[in-house]
Amino acid sequence: MYDYIIVGAGISGLYAAYNLSKHNKSFLLLEKNSSLGGTWKSIKYKDSLFELGPNTIIDSSKDLQLLIEDLELESEVLKCPLKESKRYIFDGTELQELSSNPLSLLFSGLISTGGFLDFLFKFFSLTQSSKVKINDEEFQKGESVRDFAERNFGKEITRKLLETFLKGVWAGDPEKLSADYALKILAQMEKEHGSIFKALLSKFGKSKAKSKAKSIISFKEGLQSLCTAIVNKIAAENIALNSKVNKIELEADKYIVETSSGEETKSFQAKNIIFASKSFEVAELLGAIAPDLSEELNEIYYAPIALFAYSLPKSAFSKDLDGFGYLSAAEEFKTLGSIWASQLFPERNLDDEYVFLSFIGGAKNQEILELSEDCLWNQYIIPEQKRVYGKFLAKPLNDFDFKLLASKKITRAIPQLNIGHAEINSKIKSLLQNKYPNIHLLGNYMEGVAIKDALESVHTLDLETQDTFQEALTTA
Ligand SMILES: Cc1cc2nc3c(=O)[nH]c(=O)nc-3n(C[C@H](O)[C@H](O)[C@H](O)COP(=O)(O)OP(=O)(O)OC[C@H]3O[C@@H](n4cnc5c(N)ncnc54)[C@H](O)[C@@H]3O)c2cc1C
């Protein structure tokens, strides 16, 4: 009988296991695949490396900083300040470099005079339309990213800049994504002060500790080395790979967890279950023992994504690719954007090739589900990249210049925290608290989609409180 069984050994499950082992809890981590890390996949290529999954983590996460220190991984960290990591937008005609300064974005040529004036009018308006809408019942359910941003920044800035940026994180539909989650900080500023402009004014002149400039980070051996370092701190008998959880039953005050590995089935018992897999996978396992919770989890939609890693000869380019990559603002494009994988950190540079990772699909391109990877590669990735790099090229790109290194289609990749998510979230939290206190849900589908959010979700286990409670019980 374990204190906890964890289902899923992606970063959420691994970080949970790490915390449980620090608090001397007995646990078993079950993973259906033969490898750890879930969505993460670091692949060596020549003297470089690319990721067929997440590429970088923002170092603003406290959990990540502590984890790196605790695992003594400091010397393995690759870091690039966000300000130095140049980003581009493909506007349908050419690549435009984006400055990290929001004000200079307005003068970048991407925005027309009309769009700029609209921004000034909306942003500096002291009679925010939100004030009118805040009492409106519909508005209480949540507002879409598009409505929120157009109210605050005008139509052109919303469509050309903000929505393009959001594609890179959410691959979502701006008419459905909830501003409360996808634009969390801005939405909070508006709620607290009545408008974003007023929120900024309220901070103006106030002395504050200088905040540390944010960086993107990875590790010399790729993101997956964080998972490996965690695993090295966990006793081998606490982890079972190739163990797919098929069924969970509740018997008196314990859970019976059945796993399969090929023909073999096994059964384990635990007082608590931690689910660290995608919400629809959890929903399936909970169908019999917590149907109401399962129903709420099934409401969360995931957008599809296909990833293509490939290289192109440096000799085809007239200009050095020196940045993070580009995002596409072109309506007709299926490619959401491309990361310049070999250029993210100097340690990954190759002499004669650039390595790229292109993302295709998202909530607005559901049709990619019907198309084979071969078809996506030939019909979209190659022709669209040929258009993107126009003025950066020394000679037109040929099909044979593209060397495909790896690809993956993820049918349900990114959870979409759409309008109405706050309601789903609060029902889930209430069910967990009042009806299923021994079920715990971790991952990136409750508060945010990034790795930082997945790490933070582990705080909901509240092990400190449980330890204090146990201590009090023992003393009594
Ligand atoms: C293409 C892509 C790119 C991304 N890029 C970034 C990025 O650059 N930066 C960033 O911050 N975030 C990024 N994200 C988001 C990030 O990947 C997630 O926040 C994070 O990896 C979620 O980890 P997880 O452990 O919660 O889930 P997962 O990684 O999905 O892990 C879940 C695990 O559960 C296992 N499992 C499922 N069902 C069972 C079962 N029945 N029995 C046993 N095991 C089971 C799975 O095999 C898997 O190993 C990206 C996501 C995608 C899809």
Q: Are residues 244 and 180 in the same domain?
A: no
pLDDT in the model for residue 133: 53
Q: Are residues 23 and 111 in the same domain?
A: no
CATH of the domain at 451: 3.50.50.60
pLDDT in the model for residue 132: 45
Residues ≥6 apart with Cβ < 8 Å to 93: 390
Residue 39 and residue 340: Cα distance in Å, rounded? Answer: 19
Residue 461 and residue 20: Cα distance in Å, rounded? Answer: 9
Looking at the CA of residue 285, tell me the nearest atom of ligand 1: 41
- Cα separations in angstroms, 420 against 178, 192, 219: 8, 21, 37
Looking at the CA of residue 453, tell me the nearest atom of ligand 1: 19
Strand order in the sheet with 77-81: 57-58, 215-219, 77-81
Q: Are residues 436 and 296 in the same domain?
A: yes
Q: Are residues 14 and 146 in the same domain?
A: no
Protein residue with its CA nearest to atom 48 in ligand 1 = 38
CATH of the domain at 164: 1.10.3110.10
pLDDT in the model for residue 122: 83
pLDDT in the model for residue 194: 84
Q: Are residues 190 and 227 in the same domain?
A: no
Protein residue with its CA nearest to atom 35 in ligand 1 = 8
Query: 252 in a domain, yes or no?
Result: yes
Residue 38 CA to ligand 1 center (angstroms) comes to: 5
Low-confidence stretches of the chain (pLDDT < 70) are 100-108, 126-140, 205-211, 466-476
Q: In whole angstroms, what separates CA 393 from the centre of its chain? A: 32
Q: How large is the C-alpha radius of gyration of the chain?
A: 24
Residue 138 and residue 143: Cα distance in Å, rounded? Answer: 8
Query: 180 in a domain, yes or no?
Result: yes
Query: 388 in a domain, yes or no?
Result: no
Q: Are residues 277 and 424 in the same domain?
A: yes
Q: Are residues 174 and 239 in the same domain?
A: no
Query: What is the domain range of residue 273?
Result: 2-38+223-300+418-475
* Model pLDDT for residues 309-330, shown as the tens digit of each residue: 999 999 999 999 989 999 999 9
Q: Is residue 413 in contact with ligand 1, taking CB distance under 6 Å?
A: yes
Residue 422 CA to ligand 1 center (angstroms) comes to: 22
Query: 339 in a domain, yes or no?
Result: no
Query: 130 in a domain, yes or no?
Result: yes
pLDDT in the model for residue 138: 60
Q: Are residues 31 and 175 in the same domain?
A: no
Q: Is residue 307 in contact with ligand 1, taking CB distance under 6 Å?
A: yes
What amino acid occupies position 356?
A: F
Protein residue with its CA nearest to atom 34 in ligand 1 = 8
**How many structural domains does the chain have?**
2
pLDDT in the model for residue 208: 60
Question: Is 114 buried (19+), middle (13-18) or exposed (0-12) by CB count in 10 A?
Answer: exposed
CA atoms within a 13 Å half-sphere pointing along the CA-CB vector of 237: 2
Q: Is residue 277 in contact with ligand 1, taking CB distance under 6 Å?
A: yes
- Cα separations in angstroms, 194 against 132, 180, 200, 290, 399: 11, 15, 11, 40, 53
Residues ≥6 apart with Cβ < 8 Å to 328: 89, 90, 164, 167, 335, 336, 337, 384, 388
pLDDT in the model for residue 59: 86
Last residue of a domain, one of 169, 203, 237: 203
Q: Are residues 426 and 291 in the same domain?
A: yes
Query: 355 in a domain, yes or no?
Result: no
Residue 151 and residue 159: Cα distance in Å, rounded? Answer: 12
Residue 40 CA to ligand 1 center (angstroms) comes to: 7
Instruction: Give the angle 183-186-189 at the CA atoms, nearest 5°.
Output: 145
Q: Is residue 422 in contact with ligand 1, taking CB distance under 6 Å?
A: no
Q: Are residues 283 and 424 in the same domain?
A: yes
Protein residue with its CA nearest to atom 50 in ligand 1 = 54
Mutation test of ligand 1: which of 277, 279, 408 has the most ligand atoms closer than 8 Å to its C-beta?
277
Secondary structure (DSSP) of 385-422: HHHHTGGGBSSPPPGGG-EEEEEEEEEEEEE--BTTHH
Q: Are residues 119 and 199 in the same domain?
A: yes
Residue 331 CA to ligand 1 center (angstroms) comes to: 28
Q: Are residues 238 and 272 in the same domain?
A: yes
Q: Is residue 159 in contact with ligand 1, taking CB distance under 6 Å?
A: no
Q: Is residue 10 in contact with ligand 1, taking CB distance under 6 Å?
A: yes
Last residue of a domain, one of 203, 238, 264: 203
pTM as predicted: 0.93
Query: 85 in a domain, yes or no?
Result: no
Last residue of a domain, one of 139, 172, 203: 203
Query: 234 in a domain, yes or no?
Result: yes
Looking at the CA of residue 307, tell me the nearest atom of ligand 1: 1
Conformation bin of residue 243: beta by default, left when phi > 0, alpha when psi is -120 to 50: beta
pLDDT in the model for residue 335: 96
